[in-house]
């Protein structure tokens, strides 16, 4: 499992990771196609993918002249890492303040509120 300070993924890199987590391994062309809804050019996506490789978040396998990309960190580990970081930065480590804020907001559907009540 990754520690909080080991990996920092930008918002743009999160989009790439979502593609890779949803289906991997993927060729660069597959990643570019999946991100066709963004204004990014292929070279921009290649740069961000290269950064993720450098950060050891994804890895590659060479197949002939092409590379297959796959995640080295699970979605769950990344979400846990960023959730912990968010709670520490915004709520001074007090997760109950975050839960209270969410419960009091209009972000939760009634069925979500029922699930929370069962947990606590």
pLDDT of residue 6: 59
Task: Identify the segments of the chain with pLDDT beneath 70.
Answer: 1-6
Neighbours of 52 (CB within 10 A): 23
pLDDT of residue 116: 77
- Residue 75 neighbours by CB under 8 Å, 6+ apart: 17, 21
| 64 backbone dihedrals φ, ψ, rounded to 5° | 70, -120
Go through the domains of the chain in sequence order and give each one's CATH number. 11-71 (1.10.10.10), 75-119 (no CATH)
């Amino acid at each position: 499992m990754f520690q909080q300070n080991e990996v920092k993924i930008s918002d743009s890199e999160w989009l790439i990771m979502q593609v890779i987590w949803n289906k991997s391994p993927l060729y660069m062309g597959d990643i570019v196609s999946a991100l066709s809804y963004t204004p990014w050019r292929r070279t921009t996506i290649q740069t961000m993918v290269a950064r993720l490789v450098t950060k050891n978040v994804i890895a590659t396998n060479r197949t002939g002249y092409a590379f297959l990309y796959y995640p080295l960190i699970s979605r769950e580990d990344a979400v846990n890492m960023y959730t912990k970081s968010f709670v520490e930065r915004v709520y001074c480590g007090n997760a109950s303040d975050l839960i209270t804020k969410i419960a009091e907001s209009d972000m939760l559907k009634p069925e979500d509120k029922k699930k929370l009540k069962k947990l606590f």
